Each structure stands twice: as C-alpha cells, then as structure tokens.
Amino acid sequence: MDQKRRRRGGVLIFLIFLGVVSAYLFYTELRPTVIFGLRDDYARAIPYQKVPAGLNSLKAKECGRCHKAIYEEWKSSIHAHAYQDPFFQAYWKKDDNIWVCLNCHTPLENQQPTLIQEIPRGRVERAVQIPNMNYDPEYQNEGVTCAVCHVKDGVIHGPYDDSAAPHPVQFDPKFRTKQICYRCHNVVSGPFQFYNVGPCGTYAEYEGEFFMKEKGMICQSCHMPEVTRPVAQGGPIRSGRRHLWRGGHDPDMIKRAVAVQVMADPPQPQPGERVTFTLTLINAGAGHKIPTGDPDRHFTVEFLVRDAEKKVVRHQADTMGRWILWQPVIWEVYDNRLLPLASRDYEFTYDVPEDARNWIVQTRIRYHILTDDQHEMLREKYELTAKDPYVFTIYERDFPLDESLSVALQDQPLDPRVGCAKEMEPGSVG
C-alpha cells in the first residue's frame, strides 16, 4: 500500500514538474512577450538619415522655417506627441520599455538609443543591441517627425513632381496613396496571437468599398484634409494637405464619424404606460471600423432614467468594442464594432411610473480610450498622468417621459453626413 502511494506521489511530482517546465518553455520560447508580431518593415528602425544639403538639421523646427503652417499643424498632432504621450509612456513602462515600441513612436534610427543587430527567433526580449552613436535624445521627443515620412538618403520626398526648393527633392507617388500609412497602422499578429486583424490594424480594417471605390477616398482624405495654400512660404499656391492626423485620441474626430437617431414607441407615453426607445448608431463617416486602433478602445451606449431631481432611477449600458483573452494565448473572442456605413439599434424599455412628472430618459454615447480599471492600474503602478482624459461623451440628449416626447423626437438633427464632414482645426492634440 505504501509502495503504491509512493509511486502515485512520484507520478504526481513528475506531472507537476512537467507542467512547470512546459509553462516555462511556452512563455520563454514560444509565446511573444509583446502583443503583436514582427514584420520586416517595422521590426527595425528606419535606417539612419543624413541631413539633406541646404538644411542645418533634421529637426522639425528646421523644416518649419519655410513650411510654417505645416509645422504648426504637426506640433498640434498626436504624431508630434507619439513619444511623450502619457498613455504610451505608461503602457511602455508596463512593458519594461521594450525597444520595439519605439519603431513606430520614434521611428528613425537617429531617435533611438540602441541599434538592433539581431533578433534571435523573433524574440524581441533577446535582441542583440549596441549603443547608437548617432542617437539624439532631444530628437527622440519629436516622435513621428517630418523626416520619418519625408527624408530618404539625403533627399526630401513628397507628393509633387515639379518642386523647386533649396534642398534636394524627389516625387514619391506613395504620398498620394494610403500606402504611406501602412508601416505603423497595420501591426500584425504574432505566434499564439489570434486577432481578427491584428492588435492595431486600422489599415487592414479599411473596408469601405463606398469610400474607396465610389468616393475615391484614402486615409488622408479624413486625417489630412485638403487645403489650398503655398506649401512653403513664398511658394506657389497649390492643393495640399493639412498635417493634423486627428484620430482616436480626439473626441471631435470620433463625433464626426458617427450619426445617431432616437425613436420611441409610443411617441406620446402616458403615466403607467410602457415605452420603448430605440437608439440607432451609424458608422456614417469612417472608412474603417469604429472604434479602431488600440484594442482597449470602446463605446458605451447608455440610457438613464432621471426623476425630477435628476436622480438616476434606472440605467442600462451596452458596449461596442473588442473582447480579447490575453492569457495564456491572445484570442479575440468577440468583435461587435461597426463596419463603414453599418448601423446598430439599441433598445431600452421602461414602464413610466404613474406619478412621474418631469422625468426624462437621457441617451448617451461615451468613447473610452481604456477602461476605468486599466486607467487606475496605469496611474497607480506606471505613473500615468492623473489629469489625462480617457473617457469622452460624444453624444448626449434628453427626452421627456410624457406627451411632449414626440416634439423632442421630431426636433432631432438627423445627420446625413457620408465621409468626413468638415475640416479639422489645429487646436488640441488629436
């Protein structure tokens, strides 16, 4: 009997040992340490770029001496803040400041402290690195700076084939296509990562057949609105684009992507009667899914019943986004985001109390850059700037729970926009 127990105990110890070893090998040799895979064009920094003849440096301020309007727009953009952005800094700290994140947030070799010599078996944590003698820490703070897109081999590349400038220039047709956005906005999945399109795959989500084929729109159509002006001070007036790149960090840009309509049945509810509200949310202005980008981003669609004292007596909330299992493998369980021009109805049913007077149903849509729990975790553990906003109300409207409801329903401004409606102003960071 004792011998059998010892044998069983030995087998159990062996199985536990085998499980520990398997788990160790899985996490150290198989599962990626970052939430995306490597692709050749962003696995390393953009090679070192020298200063084109006629310029004093690659700094954006140097470009701004002649391209003043573009420089001012760039300074207001999330591209300019890609490295200093508090969300990036907090998440990057959480990921032990791993080097690969810099390849999109400070893409030039000139901006990075180390050079990657080798990435054994794609394991980013085992990359062989050496100090970069050309590293400029001040330049790193410029994030996605002018030279990232426009400088190659000492020549300024751009969308014009007739440029006359005090520095070498070359026409590059890529600037007139969405291909220019591909490198950083189409991050792919890695081994044991089962996303639908990758963690930050806005480029791959661009499924807007109407926007692409019928309207001829590309990424720049919304994110770099057209403008007629001199590209450089004193230059000819021509059709160009504003360097704003407003997107997932800008609530005004999110508002421009959606249209909302609310209906009610019956439209003139009486005390004691049951009323059903239907909120229709439409992806009316984006050529990709909404929300897009970072997989943590999501919408909440809410109905709140408030009494005469504005106290909430009933609350219903639905979520639109991606549900992802992060351990032991990354698995995108569910995705209910809206494709271009798609819509979804959200219903809310409520029995109006007999004594309800001056009660309302508040309809609200909020856009979240991350969840409350994540925000708290980043604040407490990874020094996220406490005042940095991460939840925005993009739609809110009150509807009375009485006979005047029909008037409020008719008074809604049905938004017929198709595509990006208006030009973005170079105000707060996008």
pLDDT digits (tens, 9 = 90+) for 159-180: 988 878 899 999 999 999 988 9
So what's the pLDDT on residue 55? 94
Tell me which CATH code domain 251-410 carries.
Answer: 2.60.40.10
The sign of the dihedral angle between the CA atoms of 428, 63, 141, 220 is positive
- Asked whether residue 430 carries a pLDDT value surpassing 70, the answer given is no
Say if CB 217 and CB 209 are below 8 A apart. Answer: no
Predicted confidence (pLDDT) per residue in 149-164, tens digit: 999 999 999 998 887 8
User: What is the pLDDT, as a whole number, of residue 414?
Assistant: 59
pLDDT reading at 33 higher than 70: yes
Give the mean pLDDT of the chain. 90
pTM to 2 decimal places: 0.89
Q: Give the residue, 58 or 31, on which the prediction is more confident.
A: 58
Statement: residue 131 has pLDDT above 80: yes
* Residue with more model confidence, 227 or 388: 227
Instruction: Supply the pLDDT for residue 89.
Output: 96
**pLDDT > 60? residue 385:** yes
Averaged over 48-55, what is the pLDDT? 95
pLDDT band for position 420 (50/70/90)?
low
Cα Rg, the chain, nearest whole Å: 26
Residue 26 has φ and ψ, to the nearest 5°, of -60, -50
User: What's the Cα-to-Cα distance from 407 to each of 81, 263, 360, 400, 411, rounded to whole Å?
Assistant: 45, 11, 14, 9, 6
Task: Please state the domain extents for the chain.
Answer: 60-235, 251-410
With cut-offs at 50, 70 and 90, classify the pLDDT of residue 423. Answer: very low
Residue 206: is its pLDDT beyond 70? no
